[in-house]
Amino acid sequence: MVLVSLFLEILRKPTIGDVLKELMIFIAPLWIAVIVGVLVGWAWKPKWANIGREMMIDCSVSKDSTPASSDSSSASFNLISSLNSIKFLLPSCISWITDDEAQSDPCSLPPTVDSNGSSSQIPKGKTSFVSNEDLAHFVDLVEEKDGGPAWIHMMDCSTPTMFYQAWQRDLEAGPTEYRSRTVFEDTTPEMVRDFFWDDEFRPKWDNMLVSAATMEECPTTGTMVVHWVRKFPFFCSDREYVFGRRIWESGRAYYCVTKGVPYASVPRKNKPRRVDLYYSSWLIRAVESRKGDGQLTACEVLLFHHEDMGIPWKIAKVGVRQGMWGTVKKIDPGLRAYQKERTSGNALSHCAFMAQINSKISADYLRSFESKSNDSSEIETHNSSEKPLGKNIPKLLVVGGAIALACSFDRGLLTKAVIFGVARRFANIGKRL
């Protein structure tokens, strides 16, 4: 109504020249606001805004360069790759190594196991699925120097041969993260390492595992790409996992890193549902027994785990809390059965054999991660105090355009208040960015 009344008032001017002059004054702020909006939208364009254009380009290229029979699979892979590029869904721990690191990695060309059981090499230039950057992130988690929120204690539980503690924390974006400490009596780190890696034995104690298959493996570093299907409660469909895993050895401490990875050879289906965000890593080492004899006859496992199961995070959090101990206490009898099977002289499974291929690292190498972490945090703090000029320009354009637009609407304080309020909101967003 305000615009209509202003327009009618302009038309009542005595001469055409006055009408054109008033129309120019009336329209100019609107055009300024439009131009400011376009500039602001372009300056603050998020990364996912290019997904549609990139998908169309990729799909058109695939149609021109590949047979028609491969069009649908190529488009599906491009879609998955584009969705995986959304940064906030994938934390920094789920990352690929740089080209320089790929060249120095002895397993940049791990063998690929085809459906017929034959082995082949993956394309040249493919990087390692689990890298030293993932190890550095895991070390930061173990040392509680990853910069995340504080851990909240959940529970202390025990059996005669196992002691268990658990913590949790909520991030601003992403599922709840869990940290646990388990001490198994009368066992070795090597036995526990093989036990957690052995997918052939796992169904005997983990009734949620429906199937497990190794897709690729590296005989040099022991890196594996594994495909799992896990059973969920009756009201949920089964979940599918494709993850890379690798073990680093420092003395008798084993850093076992497992994370979800994109993998085009396993096509995405409606059921089971794919879990893309998955992280589960252990530090396994010998510790003193709770018997108080001073002997390192017990084994400590520090676990860090989070995943996006496709269930609302708050509901998943309640379910995990209620069912955690019931699930964890099944691990101890499973470990004891595994010890008996190993000591009886049964043949070592292929997964357990791969668990014994580790990347050797020194204590000094681990300490180098800590120094790099401290340096990067100092740099980040220093840079955050600086206000780049590029971020201030869109903010000034928004505020200036809002002022011009508000001044053109000289009827009513409410309109001006709304416009200035929107400008202030965008200005605050600019500060956070």
pLDDT tens for each residue of 407-425? 444 444 444 444 445 445 5
Is 327 part of any domain?
Answer: yes
> Both tokens of residue 309?
């199961």
Q: Tokens 């050879």 identify what position? A: 265
pTM check: above 0.95: no
Element (H, E) at 119: strand 119-121
Number of domains in the chain: 1
Better-scored residue on pLDDT, 165 or 40: 165
Q: What is the mean pLDDT of the chain?
A: 73
Is 179 part of any domain?
Answer: yes
User: Residue 50's CB: how many other CB atoms inside 10 A?
Assistant: 13
Instruction: Output the CA torsion sign for 71, 73, 76, 81.
Output: negative
Is 14 part of any domain?
Answer: no
* Enclosing domain of residue 320: 132-380
Rounded CA-CA distance 69/46 in Å is: 34
Cα of 23 vs its chain's centroid, Å: 54
Is residue 387 over pLDDT 50?
Answer: no
User: Residue 317's CB: how many other CB atoms inside 10 A?
Assistant: 16
Is 374 part of any domain?
Answer: yes
Whether the CB-CB separation of 222 and 355 falls below 8 Å is answered with yes
Rounded CA-CA distance 64/280 in Å is: 41
For 270-301, b where at least 16 C-beta lie within 10 A, e where not — what string?
Answer: eebbbbbbbbbbbbbbbeebeeeeeeebbbbb
Is 425 part of any domain?
Answer: no
Element (H, E) at 323: helix 313-328
**Cis omega (within 30 of 0) for bond into 333:** no
Is 10 part of any domain?
Answer: no
Is 225 part of any domain?
Answer: yes
* pLDDT band per the 50, 70, 90 thresholds, residue 375: low
> Both tokens of residue 101?
């690191």
* pLDDT band per the 50, 70, 90 thresholds, residue 282: very high
Return the axis-axis angle of helices 189-197 and 331-343, rounded to nearest 10°: 100
Is 357 part of any domain?
Answer: yes
CATH value at residue 168: 3.30.530.20
